Amino acid sequence: MDYKNKLKKTVRKKNSHLIAGIDPDVTKFPEFIYKKKNPLYEFCRFIIEKTSDLVAGYKFNIAFFEAEGHIGIETLEQLLKEKKEDLIYICDAKRGDIGNTSEQYAKAYLDKMNFDAITVSPYMGVDSAEPFLKRQDKLVYVLALTSNKGSKDFQKLWIGSKLFYELVIEKFLESGYSNLGFVMGADYAKEINRITSVKENIPLLIPGIGAQGGDIENLMKNIKNDSYLINSGRNILYAGKYDDNPKIYEEKVRLECVNLNNAIK
Amino acid sequence: MDYKNKLKKTVRKKNSHLIAGIDPDVTKFPEFIYKKKNPLYEFCRFIIEKTSDLVAGYKFNIAFFEAEGHIGIETLEQLLKEKKEDLIYICDAKRGDIGNTSEQYAKAYLDKMNFDAITVSPYMGVDSAEPFLKRQDKLVYVLALTSNKGSKDFQKLWIGSKLFYELVIEKFLESGYSNLGFVMGADYAKEINRITSVKENIPLLIPGIGAQGGDIENLMKNIKNDSYLINSGRNILYAGKYDDNPKIYEEKVRLECVNLNNAIK
């Protein structure tokens, strides 16, 4: 099944457009996790086990695994071996390089780890994303408008009558690949309105609610298609941060997911 | 010692501006390497041991290690533990993300592995590079003009009276950090001339000679400062590709380095 079908099916089945961002900071786990042999693994597994009925999937932030060296990558491999096939697993890697190098990244994340989708940085041009795009059952989320302050440095510059990020979207769509989506930060509700009004089926990955502070109500009014996923990381992961009781921690994590699902609806 | 001083000293001591690109494709090693327990490690170690007197340093292409999963990363860690401190070790990772995520990448590569420099993708803006830049003894090579065909898609678009990659350079230089350099492909001799004529001390990392086909003679005429490094990967690594005799393979690899050093002079 290709990604767009999986997305549709998963969103319907789970009744959720929510993605939990797996950004596991090893300095921020509850005490009951540190008692285990591999806290990084135990924390991610705990979050996934306790939320899998409440979300459409997970976005793994690869940096947090790389920061733990080869043990971190081994942990990531293990989590992907245990992948729940009825959920969407997104690799948030923001890679992008010359062809033979992007091919290696595609092998690592789309073939071997079997992620359903990957985020890609567009700076080097469309050919730098082709090794990912050629895996046609996978989706490539190209960075368009990101949720950090610095997104304004380049993404919102005018090039003729268009903004730079609009040109990025246009150029990638011209490539003819259909397994394309875009990353657009939650703060950019107006811009999200514009693209989802025109492009009925374009999948958007929307970070920046919660810890990054986006206004969810305003955002929801402006999403005009049904192929979006909204990511929340820290708000879900550390919802129970002052609780060392696994049961209470679980409840707080689940409550945060329920609240986010309600806010999205 | 900060990077710019190390660069100056290393180039003088080794009498070389050449960087060997460590892009180890596990399908392309000579037979005598496959007989060893960890061919990826043995091949990289072989190349480094046999060339360390002929180059200014090494650029590790992280994708080729990631493609081998946690074993690849463990291998990379081992190679960095054996780092030769009189040579420059560059992490070619092209990362760039929101602050808390770039911080994790910086930890992984600049702190733990202790690379001297890292390549960074500018799409998300200056703040996405700050965690790297804050390690002030390390250098950050920001992608400006890359050596792939797709570099023209965005990097050479006009924004007002400037090209996009020029704006990237300008914006990063405005940040005030002095530990900044740029990646500019060997094909862009004219553009390299322009920036090195104005910016006396700006470190450039120049890929794209050899397998990627840049014209080295024309390039050399146009480099107007002394802080450049020229990368060649596949031409060095696979110079002995039809030879299964380690001694002959070594000779061919060394000869390629000597030829490249001569061409650079």
| Residues facing residue A214 across a β-bridge | A209
SS3 assignment, position A118: strand
Helix axes A246-264, A39-51, angle to 10 degrees: 50
> What would the two tokens of residue B186 be?
């060997």
Strands A204-206 and A180-184 turn out to be parallel
B3-264: what CATH class?
alpha beta
From A4, A18, A2, A3, select the one nearest A258 (Cα to Cα).
Answer: A18
Helix axes B39-51, B69-81, angle to 10 degrees: 30
CA-nearest residue to A106 within chain B is: B67
Question: Between chains, do B95 and A94 touch, taking CB under 8 Å as contact?
Answer: yes
**Separation in Å, CA of B114 to nearest CA in chain A:** 12
pLDDT value, residue B240: 85
From A89, A86, A107, select the one nearest A97 (Cα to Cα).
Answer: A107
* Catalytic status, residue A94: yes
Q: Average model confidence (pLDDT) for chain A? A: 95
| Residues facing residue B44 across a β-bridge | none
Question: Between chains, do B122 and A127 touch, taking CB under 8 Å as contact?
Answer: no
> What single letter denotes the amino acid at residue B12?
R
B68-90 exposure pattern, b = at least 16 Cβ within 10 A, e = fewer:
bbbebbbbbbebbeeeeeebbbb
**Separation in Å, CA of A39 to nearest CA in chain B:** 17
pLDDT value, residue B265: 85
- Report DSSP state, residue B214: B
Question: Which entry of A6, A50, A94, A138 is annotated as an active-site residue?
Answer: A94
Please give the Cα distance from A118 to B58 (Å, whole number): 29
Residues of B in contact with A28 (CB under 8 A): none
The answer to whether the CB of B117 falls within 8 A of the CB of B141 is yes
Q: Of A68-72, A198-202, B41-45, which range is least confident?
A: A198-202
pLDDT value, residue B211: 56
pLDDT value, residue A37: 95
pTM, two decimals, is 0.97
pLDDT value, residue A255: 96
> B257 to each of A141, B147, B221, how far by Cα in Å?
40, 21, 20
**Separation in Å, CA of B9 to nearest CA in chain A:** 30
Question: Between chains, do A164 and B152 touch, taking CB under 8 Å as contact?
Answer: no
pLDDT digits (tens, 9 = 90+) for A137-166: 999 999 999 999 999 999 999 998 999 999
Question: Between chains, do B127 and A112 touch, taking CB under 8 Å as contact?
Answer: no
Question: Between chains, do B63 and A102 touch, taking CB under 8 Å as contact?
Answer: yes
Tell which of A81, A112, A114, A124 to mutate to test the B interface (max B CBs under 10 Å): A124
Q: Which ranges in A140-227 belong to alpha helices (H)?
A: 151-154, 164-174, 189-198, 216-222
**Separation in Å, CA of B195 to nearest CA in chain A:** 20
A49-60 exposure pattern, b = at least 16 Cβ within 10 A, e = fewer:
ebbeebbbbbbb
The total of other beta-carbon atoms located within 10 Å of residue A71's CB is: 15
The total of other beta-carbon atoms located within 10 Å of residue A161's CB is: 6
pLDDT value, residue B244: 85
From B109, B111, B116, select the one nearest B10 (Cα to Cα).
Answer: B116
> A251 to each of A24, A46, A209, how far by Cα in Å?
19, 12, 21
Question: Which entry of B94, B107, B199, B252 is annotated as an active-site residue?
Answer: B94
Percent of chain A topping pLDDT 70: 98
pLDDT digits (tens, 9 = 90+) for A111-133: 999 999 999 999 999 999 999 99
The answer to whether the CB of B43 falls within 8 A of the CB of B24 is yes
CA-nearest residue to A108 within chain B is: B67
Please give the Cα distance from A165 to A156 (Å, whole number): 7
Q: Which of B63, B95, B158 sits opposite A104 (nearest CB)?
A: B63
> B159 to each of A157, A174, B151, B172, how far by Cα in Å?
8, 21, 16, 16
Q: Which of A64, A127, A167 sits opposite B150 (nearest CB)?
A: A127
The percent helix, strand, coil of chain B (3-state, each to 5) is 50, 20, 35
Residues of A in contact with B99 (CB under 8 A): 148
Grade residue A199 by pLDDT with cuts at 50, 70 and 90.
confident
- Report DSSP state, residue B137: T
Grade residue A244 by pLDDT with cuts at 50, 70 and 90.
confident
Tell me how far apart the terminal alpha carbons of chain A are, to the nearest angstrom: 27
From B152, B83, B136, select the one nearest B114 (Cα to Cα).
Answer: B83
Question: Between chains, do B164 and A167 touch, taking CB under 8 Å as contact?
Answer: no
Question: Between chains, do A77 and B63 touch, taking CB under 8 Å as contact?
Answer: no
**Separation in Å, CA of B77 to nearest CA in chain A:** 8
From B146, B254, B200, select the one nearest A128 (Cα to Cα).
Answer: B146
Matching residue, tokens 């690592």: A108
> What single letter denotes the amino acid at residue B118?
I
ipTM of the complex: 0.96
pLDDT value, residue A211: 56
Averaged pLDDT in 10-residue chunks for chain B of 265 residues: 96 98 96 95 98 98 98 98 97 97 98 98 98 98 96 94 96 96 96 92 92 78 95 93 89 96 92
Question: Between chains, do B128 and A107 touch, taking CB under 8 Å as contact?
Answer: no
pLDDT digits (tens, 9 = 90+) for A12-43: 999 999 999 999 999 999 999 999 999 999 99
Matching residue, tokens 């900060």: B2
Question: Between chains, do B146 and A164 touch, taking CB under 8 Å as contact?
Answer: no
Tell which of B41, B80, B104, B110 to mutate to test the A interface (max A CBs under 10 Å): B104
